[in-house]
Amino acid sequence: MSEQHVHSAECRYSCDVHRDKHPYSCDVCNKAFNCNSNLIIHQRKHSGERPYVCELCNKAFSSKSNLITHQRTHRGNCRYICAVCNKAYHDRSTLIKHLRVHSGERPYLCEVCSKAFSQKGNLIRHSRTYWCALSYL
């Protein structure tokens, strides 16, 4: 009889992440996730569910982390101010991303179709589209 190594839940999750396993998939768009909680947050994009509501302005969010990030805007201690529209940000990197709205800068370029994006995450999402992904095969 062969001996099996038993993993704790935390270790099993870590192993799945590093093995690039994505056992949880969305019934609507088939996007796959390595963690069920990420799938649940993703599914809210399709359902429109936003269970986390800011008590100060009633703006709603699909994840608790997005609510927490938003709540910082109410604290009034934003150090980084846009010189064009006076929007305030807590961190420099977010201000830099915002400034691209005004400048039109799109530094992230798809190597397949040459479409340009202002944020790296948008390029990554685009790269997962069917026809661009097929071009890599």
pLDDT digits (tens, 9 = 90+) for 100-123: 999 999 999 988 888 999 999 888
Statement: residue 77 has pLDDT above 80: no
Tens-digit pLDDT profile for residues 8-59: 444 444 444 445 677 888 999 888 888 888 889 889 988 999 999 999 889 9
Mean of the per-residue pLDDT values of the chain: 80
- Compute the half-sphere exposure of residue 60: CA atoms within 13 Å on the CB side of its CA: 7
Domain edges within the chain: 9-75, 78-104, 106-137
b/e 85-114 (16+ beta carbons within 10 angstroms → b): eeeebeeeeebeebbeeeeeeeebeeeeee
Query: Is 130 a residue whose pLDDT tops 60?
Result: no
CATH architecture of 9-75: 2-Layer Sandwich (3.30)
SS3 state at 61: strand
